[in-house]
Amino acid sequence: MPSTSAPARLLAGLAFAAATLSFTVVDVAATPQAAHAASVPDGRITRSEVLARAQNWVDRNVRYNLTRAPGTLVTDAEGDDKYGPDCSGLVSMAWHITANSGKGGNSTVDFAGYGGKVTLGSLHDLKPGDAILRSGHMELFARWKNEQDHSQGAWTYSLNGGSDSDGDGWEDDWAKGPKVNSHGERGDESWTSMQNYTPIRYKNIVDDNASTHGADFNGDGIGDIFSEVTGTLNIWNGRGSNNFAARLEVGGGWAAFSKPVAGDFDNDGISDLAAVKDGSTLFIWNGEGGNEFGAAVAVGAGWGPFDGTLTSVGDVNRDGHDDLAAIKDGSTLHVWNGEGGNEFGPAVEIGAGWSAFSKPVGGDFNNDGIGDLAAVKDGSTLFIWNGKGANNFGAATAIGAGWAPFDGTLTSLGDVNRDGHDDLAAMSDGTLYLWNGEGGNEFGAATAIGPGWAPYF
């Protein structure tokens, strides 16, 4: 049971005898419808980690040098491997590959014949973390400038080269990405220029597990919206670009449960749901894809003090399992580390002082692969605490004021516009709004999805 002192493990597997919940999917015409762990070298790597690794070079002001001479190679974020500070070295580093490690990673010639890549059928197939390659140059694809209109071009991570007035090999160009770097440079490719490139994909890159940061109940890799109202669970499947399918009534019988939260608690890559029944027992429903769920699994009793603030926070201790968190007595945050198979370790007390904040929501807002927290303080300012691993969090980062209309409905949806960043959503006066994440704890302007959401939040 959830306890701050007892070390007893929360074991799953208890049968849910009172089978009160049904899961019949019904398509309902409703107003609201427009609306990991770190990789190892040459291993599987998520798209968000690829982008985070590339951004690390931008943040470190890595300067272009094509010579790959001794002393010019640059370490990756972990400091374990060194790569050439040029276009192909950047991609080698971002993909975390060891091919040609003795000379700083693959060259563009090496990448042309590289067996660890696949060639995509079209530039339109590019996803965050893929790359574009031509003779003598390549860039890491970050995202489309406009998901709906690719002719507007793309944002990229790149090192392009520049002037070298003193001939020492260090050229006046620095690692750049979707946002302007400290030298006023930005990774920007027009659609016209992209026609000169071949789109390629690293064979070991994988889509981020949307269930770790938000909910993906139909397994398409896009964040979904879900809500319980008057005992019925509803799902709106994301379609990308901030669009959602019509509401699905997934099942009734939820009146006795707390507001459900989503995560992948059995590590099968499909989003599950967790909720507390009658202010006491935590249950999990394992997702089976296609908006379907298995039978309820009783995880343990004693969750009464936590049912109103239960949240899913992704993987905050970097063990590859999704974790749960909740605030006890309106003040102290606790985390239960997932162990896979619907099992959790004992409660870990993170810290007090949460009484001034709204219920925290989880996501990966700086794209480092570790679960973060977001909450609104005093009904006004949004703060983010970036996870550091091992259940540790960095200092609070103030994102901005003006969140008073949204603090009671703030939620994390995962990546709903398919740009590789986790997004936030909230409802005010019946209208649902989205803030698309841009990495680095930054968000775009609010996008109004549509009215008619008051019954669901």
Q: Which residue has the higher pLDDT, 126 or 13?
A: 126
Spatial distance between the Cα atoms of 54 and 57, rounded to a whole number of angstroms: 6
Which stretches does DSSP call E strand in 158-271? 170-174, 188-189, 198-202, 205-206, 225-229, 232-236, 238-240, 243-244, 247-251, 261-263
Whether residue 404 is predicted with pLDDT greater than 60 in this model: the reply is: yes
* Predicted local distance difference test score (pLDDT) of residue 38: 63
Q: How far is CA 340 from the centre of its chain?
A: 19
> Can you read off the two tokens belonging to residue 330?
């309106």
Q: Which amino acid is present at 246? A: A
In the chain, list all ranges with CATH 3.90.1720.
Answer: 45-206
> Can you read off the two tokens belonging to residue 233?
């669970």
- Which residue do the tokens 């909740």 mark? 326
Spatial distance between the Cα atoms of 62 and 12, rounded to a whole number of angstroms: 48
Cβ-contact 73, 82 below 8 angstroms: yes
pTM of the model: 0.60
> Can you read off the two tokens belonging to residue 144?
């489309």
* Predicted local distance difference test score (pLDDT) of residue 208: 61
Listed residue (47, 17, 80, 22) closest to 414, CA to CA: 47
Spatial distance between the Cα atoms of 352 and 363, rounded to a whole number of angstroms: 21
Q: Which CATH class is domain 45-206?
A: alpha beta
Whether residue 37 is predicted with pLDDT greater than 50 in this model: the reply is: no
Residues whose CB is less than 8 angstroms from the CB of residue 166 and which lie 6 or more positions away in sequence, other chains included? none
Specify the DSSP element, H or E, that contains 52: helix 47-59
Whether residue 156 is predicted with pLDDT greater than 60 in this model: the reply is: yes
- Under DSSP, the state recorded for 257 is B
- Which residue do the tokens 């002037």 mark? 163
Cβ-contact 55, 145 below 8 angstroms: no
- Which residue do the tokens 């049968």 mark? 15
Query: 172-221: per-residue pLDDT in tens?
Result: 999 999 989 999 999 999 999 999 999 999 988 876 643 334 688 987 77
Spatial distance between the Cα atoms of 103 and 124, rounded to a whole number of angstroms: 33
Q: What are phi and psi of 304, to 5 degrees?
A: -50, -45
β-sheet bridge partners, residue 206? 46
Whether residue 50 is predicted with pLDDT greater than 60 in this model: the reply is: yes
Q: Which amino acid is present at 405? A: P
Among 87-96, 255-264, 421-430, the range of highest mean pLDDT: 87-96
Q: Which residue has the higher pLDDT, 426 or 419?
A: 426
Whether residue 389 is predicted with pLDDT greater than 70 in this model: the reply is: yes
Whether residue 344 is predicted with pLDDT greater than 60 in this model: the reply is: yes
The pLDDT of 356-365, averaged and rounded, is: 92
DSSP 132-156: EEETTEEEEEEEES-TT-GGG-EEE
* Predicted local distance difference test score (pLDDT) of residue 214: 66
Q: Which residue has the higher pLDDT, 431 or 240?
A: 431
Q: What are phi and psi of 10, to 5 degrees?
A: -90, 110
Specify the DSSP element, H or E, that contains 437: strand 437-439
**Predicted confidence band of residue 44 (pLDDT cuts 50, 70, 90):** confident
Spatial distance between the Cα atoms of 223 and 270, rounded to a whole number of angstroms: 12
By three-state DSSP, how is residue 95 classified? helix
Query: 288-319: per-residue pLDDT in tens?
Result: 888 999 999 999 999 999 989 999 998 888 77
CATH 2.30.29.30 fits 14-36+208-456, yes or no: no
> Can you read off the two tokens belonging to residue 341?
């198979």
In the chain, list all ranges with CATH 2.115.10.10.
Answer: 14-36+208-456
For residue 437, CA distances in Å to 215, 398, 410, 422, 434 come to 16, 15, 14, 5, 9
